[in-house]
Amino acid sequence: MSPLQFAWRSLSRQPARAWLGLTGMAVVGALLFDMLLLSRGLLVSFRDLLESTGFDIRVTATEALPGMGPALSDAASTAERLRGLPELADVVPVRFGSVALDDGDADGGGLRGAKRRGLAIVASEPRRRAEWKVVQGSDLAERGPGGRPEIVVNRAFAREEKVEPGSLVRLGSAPPAREFRVAGIVEFPFEAAGERMAGVTLAGFLDAFPAARRDEADLLLVASRPAVGAEAAVAAIRRARPDLHTFSIEDVLERLRQAEFSYFRQVSVVLATIASFFALLLVTTLLTVSVNQRLGEVAALRALGFSRRRITADLVAESALLVGGGGIVAVPLGLALARALDSILRRMPDLPQRLHFFVFEPRALALHAGFLVLAALLAAAYPVLLAARLPIAATLRKESVS
């Protein structure tokens, strides 16, 4: 009979103890697993978001986040210069702005005016490589039919303003408003739930913001050549324009890792530590109580010639069954719990809709398994010590007297 079979029998002998251990481990294991998902979830999710744009490098004028600091001047020539670098596949200048929307309804203007809502505008050069994904209609053309500037809008905007491809939208940061033709409905990678967003061409941006300075960009989106890789491309840009701030996706993530996202890692480490502590306490207690209940049996087995190693193996196997069984159930349980917690956290305003706090990675599963192995060994440590150090003769004597 192998230690595992033996342990299985020992557990089935006290089903209540087995269920208590398994349930406890499943619940605590689910929490542990969730903390693993949380500790890197934002990073993984954010990387996905950044990568889904198709650009792996960002260039700004200063260290500030794009759109928050001063813009790049001479955007067109800078972009042109960078396009000349052999390491780069593409360079797209981007501008950000936001307008209050003019609904264009002359009669109800005053009334509806009170309900006006903002619209975030992203301007880019769509004929290169769009930052957004077209879901209906078509992408921007430089000039639409009749020389009208074109606009693409996201679903939230289209729904609220009841526009569709072909509709006209009046935009203007200051009167007179310009009319834009809706070319298509698109999805922006970073759009928050309910956030109204629109994309226009760089020329269209100036139509919407006549006061904006020409030839500026808040951000240059850069795609490295796949064969070269982001790092070499970043180095090339830094060499060409040391005055600019160039950073790869990894650089962005590193910054977030050290600042904003580190809270989640810290919280998850603290919670995971507490959860592990209770898991260990539970399994150690269950095993210790059961060893104490069968000290006579253990002493008898030792007298019959069962080695310390065998007794140890039996207890470790029992611990492994409790921790492993609970730990396996913990995975689906943890995934369900993570989904629920994620949906709660994602109710925070202004979060990109596609950003998640709990993200599954195979790595988390491997770590979870590693944790379980460690927990099973640690939980067995004390009862093993108790059983292996048991004085055989004295125990047999005590047990037959009692």
Partner 1 sequence: MSARAAIVEARGLAKVYPMPAGPVEALREVSLTVEPGDYVAISGPSGCGKSTLLHLLGCVDTPTSGSLLFEGRPVLALREEERSRIRLRRIGFVFQRFYLLPMLTAWENVELVQSEAGLPAAERRARTRELLTYVGLADRAGHRPSQLSGGEMQRVAIARALANRPGLVLADEPTGELDEETGEQIADLFDRVNADGTALVVVTHNLALAGRARRRLAMRSGRLAEPAAVAAT
Ligand X SMILES: Nc1ncnc2c1ncn2[C@@H]1O[C@H](COP(=O)(O)OP(=O)(O)OP(=O)(O)O)[C@@H](O)[C@H]1O
Q: Interface residues with partner 1 (CB under 8 A)?
A: 1, 9-10, 12-13, 296-297, 300-308, 310, 392-393, 396-397, 399-400
Task: Measure the CA–CA gap between 166 and 185, rounded to whole angstroms.
Answer: 10
Cβ proximity to ligand X: between 156 and 386 the closer is 386
User: From the CB of 304, what's the least distance to ligand X, in Å?
Assistant: 19
Cβ proximity to ligand X: between 187 and 399 the closer is 399
Q: Which residues does 265 contact at the CB level (< 8 Å), separation at least 6? A: 39, 40, 257
Cβ proximity to partner 1: between 5 and 52 the closer is 5
Phi-psi region of 397 (alpha: psi -120 to 50; beta: other; left: phi over 0): alpha
User: From the CB of 326, what's the least distance to partner 1, in Å?
Assistant: 21
Residue 363 makes contact with ligand X by CB under 6 A:
no
Cβ proximity to partner 1: between 18 and 200 the closer is 18
Q: Which residues does 363 contact at the CB level (< 8 Å), separation at least 6? A: 40
The partner in contact with residue 1, picked from partner 1, ligand X, none with C-beta cut-offs of 5 to 8 angstroms by kind, is partner 1
Cβ proximity to ligand X: between 363 and 398 the closer is 398
The partner in contact with residue 310, picked from ligand X, partner 1, none with C-beta cut-offs of 5 to 8 angstroms by kind, is partner 1
User: From the CB of 329, what's the least distance to partner 1, in Å?
Assistant: 23
Structure tokens at 195: 């956030």
With CB atoms as reference, the residue minimizing the distance to ligand X is 394
User: From the CB of 391, what's the least distance to ligand X, in Å?
Assistant: 7
- Of 370-399, which residues contact ligand X (CB under 6 A)? 394, 397
Question: What DSSP string describes 179-236?
Answer: EEEEEEEEE-TTPBTT--EEEEEHHHHHHH-TTSPTT-BSEEEEEE-TTT-HHHHHHH
The partner in contact with residue 179, picked from ligand X, partner 1, none with C-beta cut-offs of 5 to 8 angstroms by kind, is none
Cβ proximity to ligand X: between 213 and 397 the closer is 397
Task: Measure the CA–CA gap between 39 and 56, rounded to whole angstroms.
Answer: 23
User: From the CB of 308, what's the least distance to partner 1, in Å?
Assistant: 7
Q: Work out the burial of residue 359: count CB atoms within 10 Å of its CB; fewer than 13 is exposed, 13-18 middle, 19 or more buried.
A: buried
The partner in contact with residue 300, picked from ligand X, partner 1, none with C-beta cut-offs of 5 to 8 angstroms by kind, is partner 1
Cβ proximity to partner 1: between 366 and 392 the closer is 392
Q: Which residues in this chain contact ligand X in the complex, by CB under 6 A?
A: 394, 397
